[in-house]
A = this chain, B = another copy of it.
Amino acid sequence: MTILIKSVLTEHGIKDVLIVGNKIAQIGDKINIEAEEIIDGKNKAILPSFFNGHTHLAMTLFRSLADDMALKPWLEEKIWPLEAKLTEEDVYWGTKLACLELIRSGTTTFIDMYHHFNGIARAVDEMGLRGIISQASFDFSDEGLKEKVKKDVEWAFEECKRYSDRITIALGPHAIYTVSEASLVWLKDFADKKNLLLNIHLSETEEEVNNSIEKNGLTPTGYLEKIGFFGANVVASHCLHLTDDDIAILAKRNVKVIHNPISNMKLASGDSFRFFDLVNAGVTIGFGTDGASSSNNHDILEVAKMASLKQKAKLNNPATLPAREAFSFVTDSSESITGMKIGKMAEGYLADLCLLDLRIPEMMPNHNFVSNLVYSANGMAVDTVICDGKILMKNRIIPGAEEILDKIPEVIQDWLSR
């Protein structure tokens, strides 16, 4: 498949962009090639599509079910009992709904963590997105569950081979307070042997930090360092309550950190993310939405805006974390986090791109379209999305969307009446 996007606004002026197969083949002033599909770039801008470093996609099913609750009753009375009743089919439909949102807001690659691997993988594969899907692991230090963690991971690793190249498995030890040291070490070894990412929640709450210090005499980061868990394949989400030593460890081990400011504020997990301390230490940061029960949508541009606003307010300086820099954490930094050739408009990179509609009021006037995108328009400015060289949405229409929207009320009714 070849796609030629004619006369589209890029960050370096009006260009033609040629896609051959699943890659960006050429970006030039005038490309005269017979392409199978030609897209008129008039009144459009093009950017690499976006990366969401932390999701629980199927939790769209929980959206607006239990907002504004304190953490403990939220988890114990709502999330956990209802999660236990979810089937693979529910997870499939919840993930499909989330994929609609991701596409509508321009995200094509994400790191997910949830249960029912095949439910997630099948949905993401069908929707055409690039998914890094973590098999969620919990053992609560129970011996039987430790064995189950291993079996589930080995099973999911094999299952993953059934899907396209866009579907990658990652390992997902949930957190240090839900996974035993033995399982953490086993998962780390498995990930290293198979060259997989390791995705973990880290220092999300003060309680987690205090409990770790009490139990291990170490912060969560210090503890993971001690057991040899860290490496360049570790992606740690939240990281809200870090000491200077923690930051030095994360930098030394080249751990990637995902910042989820909207989730952190909504759950009141802590308002203390040390953004520039991490950046200055050389830690690669990405942004995440988290699940729709805490965030509550999958528009990563909203997260970029929030991250920028929070740092401006915190440092008392409106020049802090300007739009293009905030935007780089949902594009440029994704290559280093995932190891994939994504997040850049350059020849040889994967053809994961989105076209923005410059004719909506929120994108006008166009003094600076990246600034408009981050501060004014959010994901609704995304008009067309291409992933792996295939068009997933054109003029805001996603084939198959109606079937998903029709199905959701039925899924919800079955689940809650179970």
Name A residues whose Cβ lies closer than 8 Å to a Cβ of B: 60-61, 63-65, 67-71, 74, 97-98, 100-101, 104, 262, 264-268, 270-271, 292, 295-297, 306, 309-310, 312-320, 322-323, 359, 361-362, 364-369, 371-372, 375-378, 380, 401, 404-405, 408-409, 412
Contact = CB atoms under 8 A, between A and B. Distances in A.
Contact of A376 (B63, B320, B409): B63
Contacts of A372: 63-64, 296
* Copies of the protein in its oligomer: 2
B63 A365 contact: yes
Nearest to A292: B376
Given A64-B366, A359-B405, A313 B377 contact: no
A316 B262 CA distance: 14
A109 to B, nearest CB: 19
Contact of A323 (B68, B268, B297): B68
Q: Which 7 A/B pairs are nearest by Cβ-Cβ distance? A: A68-B322, A265-B309, A64-B371, A296-B375, A64-B368, A296-B376, A65-B367
Pick from A315, A317, A376, A378 the residue with the most CB of B within 10 Å: A376
A298 to B, nearest CB: 9
Contacts of A312: 265-268
B268 A318 contact: yes
Given A361-B101, A375-B64, A70 B297 contact: no
Dominant SS among interface residues on chain A: helix
B67 A323 contact: yes
A59 to B, nearest CB: 11
A372 B101 CA distance: 14
B271 A313 contact: yes
Contacts of A313: 264-265, 268, 271
Given A265-B309, A376-B292, A319 B364 contact: no
Contacts of A264: 313
Contact of A68 (B97, B319, B359): B319
A318 B378 contact: no
Contacts of A314: 271
Contacts of A266: 309, 312, 318, 375
Nearest to A318: B268
Given A296-B375, A361-B100, A268 B67 contact: no
Given A264-B313, A312-B265, A378-B378, A405 B64 contact: no
Contacts of A377: 297
B318 A65 contact: no
B101 A408 contact: no
A375 to B, nearest CB: 4
Contacts of A61: 365
A310 to B, nearest CB: 7
A365 B413 CA distance: 10
A309 B372 CA distance: 23
Given A101-B361, A101-B362, A364-B409, 18 more contacts: A60-B361, A65-B368, A67-B323, A70-B319, A71-B318, A74-B318, A264-B313, A265-B309, A266-B375, A267-B318, A268-B313, A268-B317, A270-B316, A296-B371, A296-B372, A297-B375, A361-B404, A365-B409
